[in-house]
Structure formats: C-alpha cells, structure tokens
Chains A and B, each alone.
Chain A
Amino acid sequence: NAGVTQTPKFQVLKTGQSMTLQCAQDMNHEYMSWYRQDPGMGLRLIHYSVGAGITDQGEVPNGYNVSRSTTEDFPLRLLSAAPSQTSVYFCASSTAISGEKLFFGSGTQLSVL
C-alpha cells in the first residue's frame, strides 16, 4: 500500500525551464492538492482537485498548472521556473475536500537557480 507517491524527491532547475512534479495515490481518493512549504509561511495551497476533470486554484496558483485526467494522478507543472519557486512541494490526498484527514507524499525539494 504505497499511499501518496511523489517524484522526483529533489530537482534543480535553471530559471525559465519547465518541469512536471508527479503525484499519484492508490487510495481512490477524490480530493488531491498541492502545497508549497517555505520557512515561516507554513503550507500554502497551490491548486486542488475534487475529482477527475475538476481542478481549482488555491492561495498561490500563479506560475503553476495542474490537470486531473484520472483519479490516481495529479501532476503539477511549472511553466517557466523562477527563483521564487524554490521551495518544498507536497502533494496530498483525502476522501473529501473537508472534514477528512489528508495523506501527504514525501515531498519534492525544488531549487531554481
């Protein structure tokens, strides 16, 4: 039972490069989300999805795209990486948008030079 799987664990990009952070869950959860974690700022919601084909913006969506073509996968795309996107990124899933516990992936440490 893998839970929430994120890849890669570490990534270094140059300014302007694009990349996709992968997230997959095997718990048949409808709700999936992406957070970024920066020192002193907690976990900030980037984008979330309440089911396949449905996505919405969180607190800090600029510079990121998401799609949800299947229940299992929720990739996060950085269109043109900027140093301000240097952060730790967590994917999470739950059975519902609220009122149920979140299961987190192990995170991706991203550095943009």
Chain B
Amino acid sequence: GQQVMQIPQYQHVQEGEDFTTYCNSSTTLSNIQWYKQRPGGHPVFLIQLVKSGEVKKQKRLTFQFGEAKKNSSLHITATQTTDVGTYFCAGGNQFYFGTGTSLTVIP
C-alpha cells in the first residue's frame, strides 16, 4: 500500500523559534492534506494542496507541495504555545496518513 513518512517524529522548540515538518511519499500523490491534533483531541483539517509546486500560507503557517508531488512540508514561523500538537500529512486515495510530528513549544 501507499506509504507516507514524516520527519521528524518529535520536535521541541523554544517559543519564537521556527518549526518545519516534512512529508515524503513513495508514490506520486494526487493531493496532500495537513491536519493538526491537539493533545487529547482529534485531528482537524488545516489545508489541502493539489498542484505541483503549490505554496499556501495561513498566517504563520506555510505549506508546500513538491514539484514531483511526492513530498510536502509545513513550516511554522515564530512558534507560539498554541501551536503545540501533532501535525499529520495525508495523501492520495483513502487518506493514508503520515506518522505525524509531535511539536512541543517551550515558553
């Protein structure tokens, strides 16, 4: 089946530092989605990317879809404590999810 890997698995940052998580697929993806899961909560949709090389921004969050549509990244500028949680990418058919990156922000 389709495999979507994410790195890193964990990331601890000081508040105000930047954060990036990467998502890599073994196959070309028709689209990629990003979700955020707060501790104790459920995943919540953030954004979807469809086009090769696409870049989308949501305030301090920047999402990119690779030219080959096999990888994606989420970059958070100047992290805040409200950014704490696990970030998942999900790609292709049947919504196969990556392993997630757990972000801890140290005040």
- Which A residues touch B30, using CB under 8 A? 98-99
Interfacial chain A residues near B42, Cβ < 8 Å: 90, 104-107
CB pair A40–B94 under 8 Å, yes or no, is: no
Give A5 to B59 CA distance when docked, in angstroms. Answer: 30
Q: Which residues 1-57 in B have Cβ within 8 Å of A in the complex?
A: 1, 6, 9, 30-31, 33, 35, 41-45, 48, 50
Interface size class of B (residues with CB under 8 A): 20 to 34
In the complex, A102 has a CB within 8 A of chain B: yes
Is A44 a contact partner of B93 (Cβ separation < 8 A)?
no
Q: Are the C-beta atoms of A98 and B95 separated by less than 8 Å?
A: yes
The answer to whether A101 has its CB under 8 Å from any CB of chain B is: yes
- Interface residues of chain A, those whose CB is within 8 Å of chain B, are 33, 35, 40-45, 48, 58-59, 90, 92, 94, 97-99, 101-107
Query: What residues make up the interface of B, taking CB atoms closer than 8 Å to A?
Result: 1, 6, 9, 30-31, 33, 35, 41-45, 48, 50, 88, 90, 92-100
